Amino acid sequence: MTSYVSHDEQLFAQLLLNFIQESPSAFHAVESVKKMLVPQGFQELPYKEKWSLFPGGKYYVTRNDSALIAFVVGEGLPEKHGFHLIGAHTDSPSFRVKPLPEIPVEGHYLKLNVETYGGPILNTWLDRPLSLAGRIILRGDSPFSPQTKHFRSELPLLVIPNLAIHMNRKVNEGFELNKQKDMLPLLTQITEGLEKEGVLMHHLAKTLQCPLEDILDFDLFLHEYEKGCIVGLQQEFISSGRLDDLAMIHAGSWALAKAKPSLFTQVLACFDHEECGSTSKQGAASPFLSHVLERILLALKKDREAYFQALAHSFLISADMAHALHPNSGEKLDPVNRPILNGGPVIKISANQSYTTDAETAAIFTALCQRAGVTVQKFVNRSDERGGSTIGPISSTHLDLRSVDIGNPVLAMHSVRELGGVKDHLAIANVFSEFYQTL
């Protein structure tokens, strides 16, 4: 009997799970992208210095340690061939640790004060091993040049315990969780040997092997401790946290890493803060991408007129995950357009411009899928439901270029553990590879 999922599809899905496991925060995701690009000859550009670029050269630049733009300089005239861009985001819904986070409970427990980041499905975070990841800011030689250290606990440190059904009889009838009261994770039990205050800071200092007083601040987020896995009778599903949107980050990085230089400039933009509006210096609403694109042309001795001409010859694939048909809630989808897991990438369409897709750009993406031998699906919201948006429309406010919004189908989007299709991941990577090579 022929296997529904091929060996190559299984292998590539496992590479995605490894990538996600190594990327518990946006900061770590950027490092994971670097690990894919640097061995292929990509060089880091200092954002604060003048760039010297060459046709065919491979480069990347970072912002805030949590966003990255990588590119292969085109060998043709940029004003004639423009850019082929893929945009995705490094962040996922989570909980961020607040300053002075320790909250003692009646002298027995110590919990952490956290703030909800983005729009997670709250109850999926309960009763499971959680840990911490992010970055720590240490004292440097100058107040304006602090040191940055990435942090990731190798142990499961936290759990957000549910309230027993005996104390909450209506829990299965629908119970609203309070973000300040019900979603604070338990860190430890208060014992004699425990520090009287600054327990988390002491733990960070011990882990980083640095003096406590050198830690000036931190950006720390909760994440699921358990690694994702492949599930299903035919091993056809990917069960993992942060598929939204690390699956697109991984596929785009793989495609760019293997891309050969073309006449146009190939670009991968990995933004941060999509889950909370993109309005940061490293988000899609910032001038980060437009500045990088213009600086590429300036480094090639081109002027601003050439930059605008280049944009007119460019195309952006805004890659963020899409909703699939739910086996228990089929009525939530449009009556006709009903994407399924393992049915191929999804073109996302909105009459009210929540997505940038129009008929022309949808046709272009469909043609790319056909060239790659990949089936394509379409998603539109029910007419009585308001859907989400993504980086495509935000980028369009800064860049005058053609764009399409697409993504692989998933179930349980924004759950601590989402469900995607094994076949879809290699399919979208092959489409991205085709996009980076097709004139």
Ordered DSSP codes for 382-422? -TTS-----HHHHHHTT--SEEEEEE-EEESTTSSSEEEEH
pLDDT of residue 192: 86
pLDDT at residue 9 tops 80: yes
Query: Residue 21 corresponds to which amino acid?
Result: Q
**Three-state DSSP class for 142?**
strand
pLDDT of residue 429: 98
pLDDT of residue 174: 87
Q: What torsion, rounded to 10 degrees, do the Cα atoms 89, 223, 200, 143 define?
A: -10
pLDDT at residue 306 tops 80: yes
340-358 pLDDT per residue, tens: 999 999 999 999 889 999 9
pLDDT at residue 385 tops 70: yes
pLDDT of residue 3: 86
213 within 8 A of 152, measured Cβ to Cβ? no
Q: How far apart are CA 114 and CA 102, in angstroms?
A: 10
- Tell me the sheet residues that pair with 405: 318
How many CA atoms lie less than 13 Å away from 248 in the CB half-sphere? 30
Q: How far apart are CA 407 and CA 317, in angstroms?
A: 9
130 within 8 A of 160, measured Cβ to Cβ? yes
pLDDT of residue 279: 86
352 within 8 A of 414, measured Cβ to Cβ? no
Q: How far apart are CA 415 and CA 158, in angstroms?
A: 18
Q: What percent of the chain has pLDDT over 90?
A: 91
Q: How far apart are CA 36 and CA 18, in angstroms?
A: 12
pLDDT of residue 1: 56
Q: How far apart are CA 393 and CA 356, in angstroms?
A: 5
Q: Which strand ranges, in their side-by-side order, compose the sheet holding 83-89? A: 43-44, 58-63, 67-72, 265-271, 83-89, 315-319, 402-407, 346-348, 377-379
**Three-state DSSP class for 185?**
coil
pLDDT at residue 196 tops 60: yes
pLDDT at residue 292 tops 60: yes
55-64, 299-308, 394-403: which range is least confident on average?
394-403
Average pLDDT of the chain? Answer: 95
pLDDT at residue 312 tops 90: yes
423-436 pLDDT per residue, tens: 999 999 999 999 99
pLDDT at residue 395 tops 90: no
Q: How far apart are CA 38 and CA 45, in angstroms?
A: 12
pLDDT of residue 193: 81
Please compute the mean of the pLDDT values over residues 169-191 and round it to a whole number: 94
- Give the sign of the dihedral formed by CA 323, CA 327, CA 331, CA 335: positive
pLDDT at residue 195 tops 80: no
Pairing mode, strands 265-271 and 67-72 = antiparallel
Banded pLDDT at 392 (limits 50, 70, 90): confident
